Amino acid sequence: MFDCLDASVRLCLVEGAEPFAFRVRRALSDLAGREPPVAVALSRLTWLGCRVHPLREGNAAVPEAFGAFFQRPD
């Protein structure tokens, strides 16, 4: 299975805004359990979208967290 997640889903996962992060993790876990293997696409536009706001705010830690997230194979 192949799916695309938009930037808002990735923002919830990486920034950990509750209760949304928990709901996203649970939904993705359920999906992976029903439809193995799950592949998620990442566009350059999504990558940029997740970095723009934190960089404007001077928060370098968030773009670094996204970089680590985007490099994960799982």
What does the domain layout of the chain look like in residue ranges? 2-71
Q: In the predicted model, is pLDDT for residue 2 greater than 50?
A: no
What's the confidence (pLDDT) of residue 3?
53
**Interval 14-67: pLDDT, tens:** 777 788 888 888 888 888 788 777 676 677 777 787 778 788 888 888 888 877
> Can you name the residues that pair with 41 across neighbouring β-strands?
4
User: Residues 14-22: contacts with CB within 8 Å, 24+ apart?
Assistant: 14/50, 14/62, 14/65, 14/66, 14/69, 15/62, 15/65
What's the confidence (pLDDT) of residue 69?
77
Q: pTM for this one?
A: 0.54
